[in-house]
Amino acid sequence: MERPGNDAVAVWRAAGEAGDAAAAVAALHPEVTLVSPITERFVFRGHRQVCTLLEVALSVIDDLTYTDQVAEGRTVALFYEARIGTTRIFEAQRLRLDDDGLITEITLYVRPLPALTLLMKRLGPELARRNGQPGLARMIPLAAGALHTMADSGERTIMPKAAPR
């Protein structure tokens, strides 16, 4: 027996792997919300805002491949692996579905930290430009760049020293 939402989830997955933001929107409820992995205060609402985010994100994320899917009722968890340049990124997505099987809520979780800070550095300026904030678009790479440098350095040089022996 097919679970509700499998069609929308299949459309979402295929669109993500194809890098097609417009196709992904077809799986979404018109009043969808998407919670950013950077901060829960950063929420995208509706087709237009979510499509804009997807256009920008899918332009910087390469080789996106979904690896796992788990469902319980109207909640689906998806997991993918991809790259941003040479940096590997792993994302978990919690999708909530409505009675018709459309995706009403998306919450994103990204690891490792350097991938998240690089994502912020790459997405932030373009999102700010599209929101008519050119000054912020120039500032984000500076702030996000500093965070990324610290996270990347910690990942490569500091944290490995504390690894289990």
Domain boundaries, the chain: 1-111, 113-159
CATH number for region 1-111: 3.10.450.50
State the pLDDT confidence band at 6, using cuts at 50, 70 and 90.
low
pLDDT in tens, 8-27: 999 999 999 999 999 999 99
d(CA 45, CA 55): 15
Global pTM value: 0.90
User: Rounded to whole angstroms, how far apart are CA atoms 34 and 44?
Assistant: 5
Write the pLDDT tens digit of every residue in 26-56.
999 999 999 999 887 889 999 999 999 999 9
Q: What tokens does 140 get? A: 């984000």
In whole angstroms, give the CA distance from residue 90 to residue 82. Answer: 6
